[in-house]
Amino acid sequence: MNRSIHHFQDLHAHAASVTQWRQLYSQLTAGALDSSLQQLSSERCHVFRERINQRVVQQGEAPAGRVCFAVPIAVPGSVRMQGRDADAHSLFFLRGGEEFMFHMPTGMDMLSVTFDRDFFDTALRDTPCADEVAQLLRQPVIKVPAPRFAECRQRLLAMFCEALANDELSGTPARQDELEQAMLDELLRLVLDPGCDRRQRSASSTQDFIVEKCHRLAMADTVTAPTVMDLCERLQVSRRTVQNSFRAVADTTPLHYLRSVRLNGVRRALTASRACDLSVGDAAAQWGFFHLSHFAAEYQALFGELPSQTPRAARWGHDA
C-alpha cells in the first residue's frame, strides 16, 4: 500500500492531496489553518484520516467506481452531510460519482474508507440481508447504535494506525489483502448489526437546500457576487428564512458565508498561479472583489495573512 502523512497550512492544498477525490474545501472560520492528512491506498481500497482546525464546507464528487464510507473520530460541533443532521454516531456513505456537500465543524477528525465497487458488491452479496443493506446504503447518513459504532471506530482506527506505522502490516500483497478485507468486514458487520434499523429514512431539510442552492449560485457567477436580497428573490423566500437557514446549517450569516466562499476562490486562484501570470487584483476581480483595500482586509481576517503573503504556485505541505 502507498502511505503518506502530510501537514498543511493551506486548505486547498489539503483538499487537492486527497487521492482520487474531486472536491473543493472552503474555510469559514477566521484564523491560520493547521491540518493533517494521513493516507493508505491500494488498487481496491483507499483509507485516509483528516483533521482540520477550522470550520469547513466540502463540495465535490465521490470517486467513480467506488463506494465510500466515513467514520467520525471526533465531532466537536454540528455536522451536516447531504442536507442531513449527523453526530458522532453517524456513519456516512456515498456512491461513486455522487455529488456531495458536507459541513465540517471546527476541529473535526474523520476516517474515510473507500472500496472498489466490485470488491464491495461481491462481499455484500455473500452477506445475509444483502437487499436490506443495499437499501440502507441509499442513505448518506446512517444512524448506528452508539456502543457498536464506538467498537467499530476503535478497531478501524487501530488497523489504520498500525498499518500506517508498520510497513509489514500492509507491505506485501497478502497483508494488503488481509487489511482490505478486515476493514470491509468491520463496516459490513456494523450495518448488519441487529440494533441498526435498516429501514431508516431521513430527508434533507429545507434549510440545507437553501444553503446549498445559495452556495451553488455564488459559485456559478463568481464575478457578479449575489446579494442576500438577490438570493431571496431567486429562491422566493424571505430574508429571515435565508438568515435562519445559514445560522442552522453553517453557524454563520449568509453574508459571511458567501464572502468566505468567494475569498476561498481567490486563494485557490492565487496558490495555483504565478504572480507574473495573475496579479492579486485580477484574482480578486474574478471573484467579485473590486475594492482592493477592503478585499485585502477581509482576506487577512479570514486566512490570517495578506493576499500578497500567500505562496504562489508553490508545492504545498510537507511530509511529516
Contacts by 213-221 with C-beta closer than 8 Å and gap 24+?
214/242, 214/246, 214/254, 214/257, 214/258, 215/57, 215/59, 215/101, 215/257, 215/258, 215/261, 218/258, 218/261, 218/262, 219/59, 219/261, 219/265
Class level of CATH domain 206-309: mainly alpha
Q: How many Å apart are CA 81 and CA 316, to the nearest integer?
A: 28
First to last CA, the chain: 18
Answer yes or no: are the C-beta atoms of 46 and 19 closer than 8 Å: yes
Q: Which residue, among 304, 280, 302, 303, has the nearest Cα to 293 in the 3D structure?
A: 280
**SS3 of 115, please?**
strand
All CATH 2.60.120.10 domain ranges of the chain, comma separated, are 2-192
pLDDT per residue, tens digit, the chain (320 aa), is 899 999 999 999 999 999 999 999 999 999 999 999 999 999 999 999 999 999 999 999 999 999 999 999 999 988 999 999 999 889 999 999 999 999 999 999 999 999 999 999 999 999 988 999 999 999 999 999 999 999 999 999 999 999 998 876 666 888 899 999 999 999 999 999 988 988 888 889 999 999 999 999 989 889 888 888 999 999 999 999 999 999 999 999 999 999 999 999 999 999 999 999 999 999 999 999 999 999 999 999 999 999 999 998 854 444 43
Answer yes or no: are the C-beta atoms of 212 and 83 closer than 8 Å: yes
Q: How many Å apart are CA 74 and CA 63, to the nearest integer?
A: 24
User: How far from chain centre, in Å, is Cα 143?
Assistant: 19
Q: How many Å apart are CA 40 and CA 20, to the nearest integer?
A: 12
Q: What is the 3-state secondary structure of 43-75? A: CCEEEEEEEECCCEEEEEECCCCEEEEEEEEEC
- Residue 151's CB is within 10 A of a number of other CB atoms, namely 15
All CATH 1.10.10.60 domain ranges of the chain, comma separated, are 206-309
* Residue that has been written with the C-alpha cell 459541513 in this structure: 103
Report the CATH superfamily, name and number, of domain 2-192.
Answer: Jelly Rolls (2.60.120.10)
Q: What is the pLDDT of residue 199?
A: 87
* Grid cell at residue 149: 459504532
Amino acid occupying residue 194: P
Q: What is the pLDDT of residue 226?
A: 83
